[in-house]
Amino acid sequence: MKINTMKQTLIKTLSAGMMAAFIASPVANAGGGVHLEPADVDVHDKTSLLRGAKYFANYCQGCHSLKFSRYNRVAADTGVTDEQIQDIIFTRDADDKPTKAGALMTSAIPPKDAAQWFGTAPPDLSLIGRSRGADWIYNYLKGFHTDNSRPFGVNNTIFDSVGMPNILVHLQGTQDPVFRYDLMHNGHAEASFTSEEAANKALKEKLTYNVVKLGLMGETIVEKYPTETEAADFVASKTSYKVLLNKLEVASFTTKAEGESYVKATPVEGGKYKITPKSAYSVVKSHKIMKVVDHLELVTPGTQSPAEFDRTVLDLTNYLAYVSEPAQLHRKTYGIFTMIFLLIFFVFAYMLKKEYWKDIH
Protein backbone atom coordinates (compact mmCIF):
# COMPACT_ATOMS: atom_id res chain seq x y z
CA MET A 1 0.00 0.00 0.00
CA LYS A 2 2.71 2.41 1.03
CA ILE A 3 4.81 1.56 -1.96
CA ASN A 4 1.81 2.01 -4.24
CA THR A 5 1.22 5.57 -3.02
CA MET A 6 4.89 6.30 -3.47
CA LYS A 7 4.68 5.04 -7.01
CA GLN A 8 1.67 7.20 -7.72
CA THR A 9 3.37 10.29 -6.32
CA LEU A 10 6.42 9.57 -8.42
CA ILE A 11 4.34 9.19 -11.57
CA LYS A 12 2.51 12.43 -10.81
CA THR A 13 5.74 14.33 -10.22
CA LEU A 14 7.30 12.95 -13.40
CA SER A 15 4.32 13.75 -15.60
CA ALA A 16 4.06 17.24 -14.14
CA GLY A 17 7.73 17.74 -14.92
CA MET A 18 7.27 16.54 -18.47
CA MET A 19 4.28 18.84 -18.96
CA ALA A 20 6.30 21.79 -17.68
CA ALA A 21 9.18 20.96 -20.03
CA PHE A 22 6.75 20.71 -22.93
CA ILE A 23 5.08 24.02 -22.17
CA ALA A 24 8.41 25.77 -21.67
CA SER A 25 9.88 24.53 -24.96
CA PRO A 26 10.49 27.49 -27.24
CA VAL A 27 8.04 28.07 -30.06
CA ALA A 28 9.78 27.52 -33.39
CA ASN A 29 10.55 30.54 -35.56
CA ALA A 30 7.29 32.28 -36.29
CA GLY A 31 7.47 33.40 -39.93
CA GLY A 32 5.91 36.79 -39.31
CA GLY A 33 3.10 36.21 -41.76
CA VAL A 34 5.22 36.33 -44.92
CA HIS A 35 5.17 33.24 -47.07
CA LEU A 36 8.67 31.78 -47.35
CA GLU A 37 9.76 29.38 -50.05
CA PRO A 38 11.36 26.49 -48.12
CA ALA A 39 15.14 26.10 -48.47
CA ASP A 40 16.10 22.48 -48.67
CA VAL A 41 19.39 22.78 -46.78
CA ASP A 42 21.59 19.80 -46.02
CA VAL A 43 24.49 20.62 -43.69
CA HIS A 44 26.00 17.18 -44.36
CA ASP A 45 26.51 18.02 -48.04
CA LYS A 46 30.22 18.92 -47.82
CA THR A 47 30.66 20.05 -51.44
CA SER A 48 27.72 22.42 -51.00
CA LEU A 49 29.27 23.76 -47.77
CA LEU A 50 32.59 24.35 -49.51
CA ARG A 51 30.91 26.13 -52.41
CA GLY A 52 28.97 28.21 -49.88
CA ALA A 53 32.19 29.04 -48.02
CA LYS A 54 33.79 30.17 -51.25
CA TYR A 55 30.84 32.37 -52.27
CA PHE A 56 30.77 33.81 -48.77
CA ALA A 57 34.47 34.71 -48.85
CA ASN A 58 34.10 36.25 -52.32
CA TYR A 59 30.83 38.10 -52.00
CA CYS A 60 29.98 38.63 -48.36
CA GLN A 61 33.04 38.68 -46.12
CA GLY A 62 34.04 42.12 -47.36
CA CYS A 63 31.23 43.37 -45.13
CA HIS A 64 30.10 40.53 -42.88
CA SER A 65 32.23 38.66 -40.36
CA LEU A 66 31.66 35.15 -39.01
CA LYS A 67 33.61 35.95 -35.89
CA PHE A 68 32.76 32.78 -33.97
CA SER A 69 34.24 30.57 -36.69
CA ARG A 70 37.81 29.66 -37.59
CA TYR A 71 39.03 28.64 -41.02
CA ASN A 72 40.49 25.36 -39.77
CA ARG A 73 37.19 24.38 -38.14
CA VAL A 74 35.45 24.77 -41.50
CA ALA A 75 38.28 22.73 -43.05
CA ALA A 76 37.96 19.94 -40.48
CA ASP A 77 34.17 19.82 -40.77
CA THR A 78 34.20 19.73 -44.56
CA GLY A 79 36.99 17.17 -44.76
CA VAL A 80 39.68 19.28 -46.44
CA THR A 81 43.15 20.27 -45.26
CA ASP A 82 44.07 23.69 -43.85
CA GLU A 83 45.99 24.47 -47.06
CA GLN A 84 43.01 23.56 -49.20
CA ILE A 85 40.63 25.73 -47.19
CA GLN A 86 43.01 28.67 -47.62
CA ASP A 87 42.90 28.15 -51.37
CA ILE A 88 39.13 28.05 -51.29
CA ILE A 89 38.42 30.95 -48.95
CA PHE A 90 41.62 32.89 -49.23
CA THR A 91 41.67 36.18 -47.35
CA ARG A 92 44.39 38.52 -46.13
CA ASP A 93 44.85 40.11 -42.74
CA ALA A 94 45.52 43.78 -41.94
CA ASP A 95 49.23 43.42 -42.88
CA ASP A 96 48.28 41.92 -46.25
CA LYS A 97 49.59 38.49 -45.21
CA PRO A 98 47.48 35.42 -45.94
CA THR A 99 45.18 34.73 -43.01
CA LYS A 100 46.30 31.94 -40.69
CA ALA A 101 44.27 28.76 -40.73
CA GLY A 102 43.44 29.15 -37.04
CA ALA A 103 42.26 32.75 -37.37
CA LEU A 104 38.74 33.95 -36.70
CA MET A 105 36.75 34.84 -39.78
CA THR A 106 36.56 38.60 -39.47
CA SER A 107 35.51 41.04 -42.17
CA ALA A 108 37.56 43.72 -43.84
CA ILE A 109 35.21 46.62 -43.35
CA PRO A 110 35.53 49.02 -40.38
CA PRO A 111 32.08 48.93 -38.71
CA LYS A 112 31.98 52.71 -38.24
CA ASP A 113 32.50 53.46 -41.94
CA ALA A 114 30.07 50.73 -42.88
CA ALA A 115 27.36 52.20 -40.68
CA GLN A 116 27.85 55.49 -42.47
CA TRP A 117 27.77 53.98 -45.97
CA PHE A 118 24.80 51.69 -45.53
CA GLY A 119 22.84 53.33 -42.72
CA THR A 120 23.49 50.26 -40.50
CA ALA A 121 26.67 48.29 -39.91
CA PRO A 122 26.56 44.87 -41.62
CA PRO A 123 25.86 42.47 -38.75
CA ASP A 124 28.07 39.51 -37.90
CA LEU A 125 26.40 36.48 -39.45
CA SER A 126 27.75 33.76 -37.13
CA LEU A 127 24.34 33.09 -35.62
CA ILE A 128 22.05 34.25 -38.41
CA GLY A 129 21.17 30.64 -39.29
CA ARG A 130 19.66 30.25 -35.86
CA SER A 131 18.09 33.67 -35.34
CA ARG A 132 16.50 34.03 -38.78
CA GLY A 133 16.47 30.42 -39.94
CA ALA A 134 17.57 28.93 -43.27
CA ASP A 135 14.29 29.61 -45.10
CA TRP A 136 14.48 33.28 -44.24
CA ILE A 137 18.10 33.65 -45.45
CA TYR A 138 17.30 31.80 -48.69
CA ASN A 139 14.31 34.01 -49.46
CA TYR A 140 16.17 37.15 -48.40
CA LEU A 141 19.06 36.51 -50.79
CA LYS A 142 16.64 35.81 -53.64
CA GLY A 143 14.31 38.67 -52.72
CA PHE A 144 16.20 41.76 -53.94
CA HIS A 145 14.34 43.84 -56.51
CA THR A 146 14.50 47.28 -58.09
CA ASP A 147 12.99 50.18 -56.14
CA ASN A 148 13.87 53.69 -57.21
CA SER A 149 12.77 55.18 -53.92
CA ARG A 150 15.67 53.49 -52.10
CA PRO A 151 19.28 54.85 -51.85
CA PHE A 152 20.84 51.88 -53.69
CA GLY A 153 17.81 51.50 -55.97
CA VAL A 154 16.94 48.14 -54.44
CA ASN A 155 14.55 46.78 -51.89
CA ASN A 156 13.77 43.32 -50.60
CA THR A 157 10.54 41.33 -50.48
CA ILE A 158 11.07 40.09 -46.93
CA PHE A 159 13.25 42.89 -45.52
CA ASP A 160 11.59 46.19 -46.29
CA SER A 161 13.89 49.23 -46.68
CA VAL A 162 16.95 47.00 -46.50
CA GLY A 163 20.33 48.69 -46.06
CA MET A 164 22.33 46.00 -47.89
CA PRO A 165 23.06 46.56 -51.58
CA ASN A 166 22.11 43.80 -54.05
CA ILE A 167 25.49 42.04 -53.93
CA LEU A 168 24.65 39.08 -56.16
CA VAL A 169 22.96 41.14 -58.89
CA HIS A 170 25.41 40.24 -61.64
CA LEU A 171 24.87 36.52 -60.98
CA GLN A 172 21.12 36.73 -60.62
CA GLY A 173 20.27 39.60 -62.96
CA THR A 174 17.82 42.40 -62.21
CA GLN A 175 14.38 41.66 -60.87
CA ASP A 176 11.44 44.04 -61.08
CA PRO A 177 8.56 43.75 -58.66
CA VAL A 178 5.14 42.91 -60.08
CA PHE A 179 2.55 44.45 -57.82
CA ARG A 180 -0.84 43.23 -56.75
CA TYR A 181 -3.58 45.30 -55.17
CA ASP A 182 -5.47 43.59 -52.38
CA LEU A 183 -8.88 44.75 -51.25
CA MET A 184 -8.52 44.41 -47.50
CA HIS A 185 -11.43 43.86 -45.14
CA ASN A 186 -11.01 43.04 -41.45
CA GLY A 187 -7.34 42.20 -41.91
CA HIS A 188 -7.63 39.80 -44.83
CA ALA A 189 -7.72 40.15 -48.61
CA GLU A 190 -11.27 39.91 -49.94
CA ALA A 191 -10.14 40.20 -53.55
CA SER A 192 -6.93 40.80 -55.49
CA PHE A 193 -6.38 42.90 -58.59
CA THR A 194 -3.52 43.33 -60.99
CA SER A 195 -4.36 46.95 -61.81
CA GLU A 196 -4.76 49.77 -59.38
CA GLU A 197 -7.80 51.15 -61.27
CA ALA A 198 -9.72 47.87 -60.97
CA ALA A 199 -8.90 47.74 -57.27
CA ASN A 200 -10.07 51.31 -56.74
CA LYS A 201 -13.29 50.56 -58.62
CA ALA A 202 -14.00 47.59 -56.36
CA LEU A 203 -13.14 49.71 -53.34
CA LYS A 204 -15.64 52.37 -54.39
CA GLU A 205 -18.41 49.78 -54.59
CA LYS A 206 -17.66 48.22 -51.22
CA LEU A 207 -16.42 51.07 -49.08
CA THR A 208 -18.52 52.27 -46.19
CA TYR A 209 -17.57 54.61 -43.38
CA ASN A 210 -18.36 52.84 -40.16
CA VAL A 211 -18.97 54.60 -36.90
CA VAL A 212 -17.55 52.37 -34.20
CA LYS A 213 -17.83 52.45 -30.46
CA LEU A 214 -14.98 51.13 -28.39
CA GLY A 215 -16.21 48.94 -25.58
CA LEU A 216 -14.87 46.24 -23.33
CA MET A 217 -15.28 43.58 -26.01
CA GLY A 218 -13.53 45.63 -28.68
CA GLU A 219 -15.05 47.77 -31.43
CA THR A 220 -18.69 47.48 -32.33
CA ILE A 221 -20.15 49.06 -35.45
CA VAL A 222 -22.95 51.46 -34.59
CA GLU A 223 -23.71 52.98 -37.99
CA LYS A 224 -22.58 52.57 -41.60
CA TYR A 225 -22.50 55.51 -44.00
CA PRO A 226 -21.66 55.73 -47.69
CA THR A 227 -19.73 59.00 -47.25
CA GLU A 228 -17.18 60.26 -44.79
CA THR A 229 -19.09 63.51 -44.10
CA GLU A 230 -22.22 61.67 -43.01
CA ALA A 231 -20.18 59.54 -40.62
CA ALA A 232 -18.39 62.61 -39.31
CA ASP A 233 -21.74 64.39 -38.80
CA PHE A 234 -22.99 61.46 -36.75
CA VAL A 235 -19.89 61.49 -34.57
CA ALA A 236 -20.17 65.28 -34.16
CA SER A 237 -23.79 64.94 -33.05
CA LYS A 238 -22.68 62.48 -30.37
CA THR A 239 -19.69 64.50 -29.27
CA SER A 240 -19.80 66.60 -26.16
CA TYR A 241 -17.24 69.14 -25.03
CA LYS A 242 -15.51 69.16 -21.70
CA VAL A 243 -14.35 72.43 -20.16
CA LEU A 244 -11.20 71.93 -18.14
CA LEU A 245 -10.00 74.44 -15.58
CA ASN A 246 -6.38 73.83 -14.63
CA LYS A 247 -6.74 70.31 -16.03
CA LEU A 248 -9.85 69.53 -13.97
CA GLU A 249 -13.25 69.06 -15.61
CA VAL A 250 -15.65 71.82 -14.52
CA ALA A 251 -18.46 71.60 -17.11
CA SER A 252 -19.59 69.79 -20.20
CA PHE A 253 -21.66 70.95 -23.21
CA THR A 254 -23.09 69.48 -26.36
CA THR A 255 -21.49 72.08 -28.64
CA LYS A 256 -18.14 73.76 -28.63
CA ALA A 257 -19.77 77.22 -28.87
CA GLU A 258 -21.60 76.64 -25.59
CA GLY A 259 -18.34 75.73 -23.95
CA GLU A 260 -16.70 78.87 -25.30
CA SER A 261 -19.45 81.13 -24.03
CA TYR A 262 -19.22 79.46 -20.61
CA VAL A 263 -15.51 80.19 -20.50
CA LYS A 264 -16.14 83.83 -21.47
CA ALA A 265 -18.89 84.25 -18.88
CA THR A 266 -16.92 82.80 -15.98
CA PRO A 267 -13.41 84.25 -15.96
CA VAL A 268 -11.16 82.91 -13.22
CA GLU A 269 -8.16 84.81 -11.87
CA GLY A 270 -4.99 82.88 -12.70
CA GLY A 271 -7.02 79.97 -14.07
CA LYS A 272 -6.42 78.30 -17.41
CA TYR A 273 -9.32 76.94 -19.42
CA LYS A 274 -9.21 74.27 -22.07
CA ILE A 275 -12.04 72.84 -24.15
CA THR A 276 -11.66 69.27 -25.39
CA PRO A 277 -14.05 67.08 -27.37
CA LYS A 278 -15.33 63.94 -25.68
CA SER A 279 -16.66 61.12 -27.81
CA ALA A 280 -16.94 57.38 -27.51
CA TYR A 281 -17.19 57.09 -31.30
CA SER A 282 -14.74 57.09 -34.14
CA VAL A 283 -14.93 56.51 -37.89
CA VAL A 284 -13.15 53.63 -39.63
CA LYS A 285 -13.18 52.67 -43.28
CA SER A 286 -14.61 49.22 -44.00
CA HIS A 287 -12.16 48.43 -46.81
CA LYS A 288 -8.79 49.63 -48.00
CA ILE A 289 -6.34 48.85 -50.78
CA MET A 290 -2.95 47.38 -49.95
CA LYS A 291 -0.22 47.40 -52.57
CA VAL A 292 1.97 44.31 -52.23
CA VAL A 293 4.72 42.67 -54.26
CA ASP A 294 3.02 39.69 -55.89
CA HIS A 295 6.15 38.20 -57.45
CA LEU A 296 9.45 39.24 -58.98
CA GLU A 297 10.19 39.25 -62.69
CA LEU A 298 13.66 38.80 -64.13
CA VAL A 299 14.11 41.72 -66.51
CA THR A 300 17.84 41.52 -67.27
CA PRO A 301 19.38 38.06 -66.98
CA GLY A 302 22.55 37.56 -64.92
CA THR A 303 25.53 35.32 -65.59
CA GLN A 304 23.74 32.40 -63.93
CA SER A 305 20.44 30.87 -64.98
CA PRO A 306 17.63 31.01 -62.39
CA ALA A 307 18.26 27.34 -61.51
CA GLU A 308 22.02 27.93 -61.11
CA PHE A 309 21.37 30.98 -59.00
CA ASP A 310 18.99 29.04 -56.75
CA ARG A 311 21.83 26.55 -56.22
CA THR A 312 24.28 29.36 -55.37
CA VAL A 313 21.90 30.85 -52.83
CA LEU A 314 21.18 27.40 -51.39
CA ASP A 315 24.93 26.77 -50.94
CA LEU A 316 25.31 30.12 -49.16
CA THR A 317 22.30 29.41 -46.97
CA ASN A 318 23.60 25.94 -46.22
CA TYR A 319 26.96 27.35 -45.21
CA LEU A 320 25.37 29.95 -42.91
CA ALA A 321 23.11 27.29 -41.39
CA TYR A 322 26.19 25.14 -40.71
CA VAL A 323 28.28 28.03 -39.31
CA SER A 324 25.58 28.98 -36.84
CA GLU A 325 25.87 25.57 -35.20
CA PRO A 326 28.86 23.49 -36.38
CA ALA A 327 28.08 20.91 -33.69
CA GLN A 328 24.89 19.91 -35.52
CA LEU A 329 27.06 17.77 -37.82
CA HIS A 330 27.75 15.52 -34.84
CA ARG A 331 24.75 16.16 -32.63
CA LYS A 332 22.54 13.57 -34.28
CA THR A 333 25.20 10.87 -33.86
CA TYR A 334 25.26 11.64 -30.13
CA GLY A 335 21.52 11.14 -30.12
CA ILE A 336 21.74 7.70 -31.67
CA PHE A 337 24.45 6.61 -29.19
CA THR A 338 22.32 7.91 -26.34
CA MET A 339 19.34 5.88 -27.55
CA ILE A 340 21.44 2.72 -27.79
CA PHE A 341 22.82 3.35 -24.30
CA LEU A 342 19.32 3.85 -22.91
CA LEU A 343 18.12 0.60 -24.50
CA ILE A 344 20.93 -1.40 -22.91
CA PHE A 345 20.47 0.43 -19.62
CA PHE A 346 16.75 -0.41 -19.71
CA VAL A 347 17.51 -4.17 -19.72
CA PHE A 348 19.64 -3.85 -16.58
CA ALA A 349 17.20 -1.52 -14.87
CA TYR A 350 14.39 -3.96 -15.57
CA MET A 351 16.36 -6.88 -14.16
CA LEU A 352 17.21 -4.85 -11.08
CA LYS A 353 13.56 -3.92 -10.60
CA LYS A 354 12.55 -7.59 -10.76
CA GLU A 355 15.17 -8.41 -8.16
CA TYR A 356 14.00 -5.65 -5.77
CA TRP A 357 10.30 -6.45 -6.04
CA LYS A 358 10.78 -10.21 -5.76
CA ASP A 359 9.91 -10.35 -2.02
CA ILE A 360 7.08 -7.85 -2.01
CA HIS A 361 4.56 -9.82 -4.08
Shortest distance (Å) from residue 92 CB to ligand HEC: 16
Q: Which of 36, 164, 321, 323 binds ligand HEC (CB under 6 A)?
A: 164
Q: Which is nearer to ligand HEC, 168 or 183 (CB)?
A: 168
Range 48-67, binding ligand HEC (CB under 6 A): 59-60, 62-64
Size of the site for ligand HEC (CB under 6 A): 22
Q: Which stretch binds ligand HEC (CB under 6 A): 8-16, 136-144, 184-192, 342-350?
A: 136-144
Q: Which stretch binds ligand HEC (CB under 6 A): 97-105, 124-132, 247-255, 295-303?
A: 124-132
39 contacts ligand HEC (rule: CB under 6 A): no
Shortest distance (Å) from residue 36 CB to ligand HEC: 13
Contact 77, 326 (CB under 8 A): yes
Q: Which is nearer to ligand HEC, 164 or 263 (CB)?
A: 164
- 276-314 burial by CB neighbour count: b if 16+ within 10 A, else e? eeeeebebeeebeeeeebeebeeeeebebeeeebbebbb
Shortest distance (Å) from residue 299 CB to ligand HEC: 21
Shortest distance (Å) from residue 164 CB to ligand HEC: 3
Q: Which stretch binds ligand HEC (CB under 6 A): 44-52, 160-168, 209-217, 303-311?
A: 160-168
167 contacts ligand HEC (rule: CB under 6 A): yes
Range 84-123, binding ligand HEC (CB under 6 A): 118, 120, 122-123
- Residues in a beta bridge with 105: 66
Q: Which of 36, 162, 203, 321 binds ligand HEC (CB under 6 A)?
A: 162
163 contacts ligand HEC (rule: CB under 6 A): yes
Q: Which is nearer to ligand HEC, 162 or 231 (CB)?
A: 162
Q: Which is nearer to ligand HEC, 59 or 253 (CB)?
A: 59
Range 263-282, binding ligand HEC (CB under 6 A): none
Contact 138, 314 (CB under 8 A): yes
Shortest distance (Å) from residue 63 CB to ligand HEC: 3
Contact 281, 238 (CB under 8 A): yes
Quick one: three-class SS letters along the chain? CHHHHHHHHHHHHHHHHHHHHHHHCCCCCCCCCCCCCCCCCCCCCHHHHHHHHHHHHHHHCCCCCEEEEEHHHHHHHHCCCHHHHHHHCCCECCCCCECCCCCEECCCCCHHHHHHHHCCCCCCCCCHHHHCCHHHHHHHHHCEEECCCCCCCEEECCCCCCCCCCCCHHHHEEEEEEEEEEEEECCEEEEEECCHHHHHHHHHHHCCEEEEEEECCEEEEEEEECCHHHHHHHHHHHCEEEEEECCEEEEEECCHHHHHHHHHHCCCCCCCEEEEEECCEEEEECEEEEEEEEEEEEEEECCCCHHHHHHHHHHHHHHHHHHCCCCHHHHHHHHHHHHHHHHHHHHHHHHHHHHHHCCCC
Shortest distance (Å) from residue 238 CB to ligand HEC: 46
Q: Which is nearer to ligand HEC, 190 or 308 (CB)?
A: 308
Contact pattern from residue 288 through residue 327 relative to ligand HEC, giving x for each residue in contact according to CB under 6 A and a dash for the rest = ----------------------------x-----------
Instruction: Give the footprint of ligand HEC on this chain (CB under 6 A).
Output: 59-60, 62-64, 118, 120, 122-123, 125, 128, 132, 137, 140-141, 162-165, 167-168, 316
